[in-house]
Amino acid sequence: SGVPWLSDVYEVIFGLAGYTRNGLFFAPLFLLLGARLRGREASGKGEAAGLGAALALVLCEALILRRLGWQRHDSMYVFLPAVMYFLFSLLLAPRGEAPGWLSPFSMLVYVLHPWVIVLMRGAARQLGLWGLLVENSLGHYLAVCAGSAAAAAVLLLIWARLRPARPSDTARAWVEVDSAALRHNAENLRALLPVGCELMPVLKCEAYGHGLVKTARLMSSMGIRAFAVACAAEGVELRRAGIRGEILILGWTAPESFPCLSRYRLTQTVTEPAYARQLSAYGKNIDVHIKIDTGMHRLGIDPEDIASVEEVFTLPHLRVRGMYTHLCVSDALDEASRAFTEAQRRRFFALAEELCRRGYCVGKLHTQSSYGLLNYPDARCSYARVGIALYGVRSSRGDDAARWPGLEPALSLKARVEQVRSVKAGEGLGYGLAYTAPRKSRIAVLPIGYGDGFPRAAEGACALINGSRAPVVGRVCMDQLFVDVTDCGEVRPGDTVTLIGPGLPCEELAEACGTISNEILSRLGKRLPKVWL
């Protein structure tokens, strides 16, 4: 060798790491690297540049080693861990939701490729193509990739034909989610945020009926890295789905579920010193946000009780990452409501300033929910906890909003017509014969009811069919409801009916039921498939 010391370096590496026909035995290192990078946030830009630089180093190393004749099985690259580091990091960058077939396809390619190598060598020998398909590294690589991909595709097609049939998502009743509207709403709400403030989508109750995991993945693909949920179970579901960043639990977590907080890196809300002491006694490090009660009197520590707040900061194993409060009348713009909201904000920030003066790091501060952002966008906060506005819906039609930046409803609720019946004038229908037809009528029965989350109190609401409004009549059943389609033209079984959607906003249904849109959306049950558009 012309460079003895470099030859000695590689011999030491082989002595420590060993090597296989695929090169240095880096498998344990790659496993540790994957574990280390798990949960890491990545933008994709820096990682792509790093990957390019690492690949260039590997190429240079390969050319030098080949020139010196030192390769063992044509792959022994010391810079390969750098390539894998940046490749793993790049794969963690948000790219939107992958097609459902991609995961089983990639798994099959991995499982099948050793068999394809064996088959390729046998075929090459029989066809006299040994030089092209085996000895030529590039030709061998491309042939094995193509063969593995083809075999995986064939197996997936066979499985698609053999797997058990499942009902169509739109066979009965379903929810449609407009992903473009959700993205549009998030972008427009972000535009309202002051410098230094981030959007924290509130995803509780299946993301207000839109779908917890899919909504989180869409937000993640936009670079959003903070989320709020109601309970530990929702946070665990997000982590298991691969969602990274901060996940704040707004509600209470029972002591028996404390292991979930540490294992899944969830941030717990602390509402009183006694609960903070319970968390501390668990003995493992837990991130927390402190809830401050500035006037709603639901949960939180009184801002005047600064000693209790300080106690939370000093407890072992608790890492205070932020503080927040809830503005309880920020959806109203009358003078009294504005004065109360401003008083809440003053009390909260006065507490934060005093804690900072005493040497505590208060972390992220947040006061704004949806209407807090829409009506008080200038608040000096770290997060805006946006719920109902993210989904393009007002809580009530009469709500005050100083700004409504082109937000679009993202959810539609639809059902098929199950049957069309004729009812004579004076005949009753449904439980208790609560509705009496005032004239000869045609009544469509829809296969959706309060078991799906459609309100039982919806008599007087409307549905849309053939572009016409059809009133909901009679009592809503667990699995069916009635609509009067007498004036809707020809209606047949299987026709699609809209219960929430364009021309029939959720606020209207909520008003007919004497409630708010938040309740209507959060009640939509898991029996309703969610079809994302």
Query: Could you give the residue numbers annotated as active site?
Result: 204, 431
> Is 298 labelled as part of a ligand binding site?
yes
8 A C-beta contact, residue 434 and residue 474: yes
* The length of the chain, given as a count of residues: 533
H-helix or E-strand spanning residue 450: none
Checking DSSP bridges between strand 530-532 and strand 173-177, what pairing results, if any?
parallel
* Structure tokens, 371: 């209407």
Those residues whose C-beta lies under 8 Å from the C-beta of residue 98, and which sit 6 or more positions away, are none
How far apart CA 262 and CA 75 sit, in angstroms, is 41
Burial 165-199 (b: 16+ CB within 10 A, else e): eeeeeeebbbbbbbbebbbbbbebbbebbeeebbb
> Is 478 labelled as part of a ligand binding site?
yes
* Structure tokens, 49: 């540049």
Strand, coil or helix: 412? strand
8-12: long-range pairs with CB below 8 Å, 24+: 10/70, 10/76, 10/78
**Residue type at 400 in one-letter notation:** D
Strand, coil or helix: 423? strand
- Which residues on adjacent β-strands are paired with residue 464? 469, 498
Burial 451-464 (b: 16+ CB within 10 A, else e): ebbbbeebbebbbb
Those residues whose C-beta lies under 8 Å from the C-beta of residue 463, and which sit 6 or more positions away, are 446, 469, 470, 471, 472, 483, 497, 498, 499, 504
Alpha helices in 242-334 (DSSP H): 258-263, 273-281, 306-314
How far apart CA 377 and CA 82 sit, in angstroms, is 44
Strand, coil or helix: 23? strand
Binding-site residues sit at 298, 478
Binding-site residues for substrate sit at 298, 478
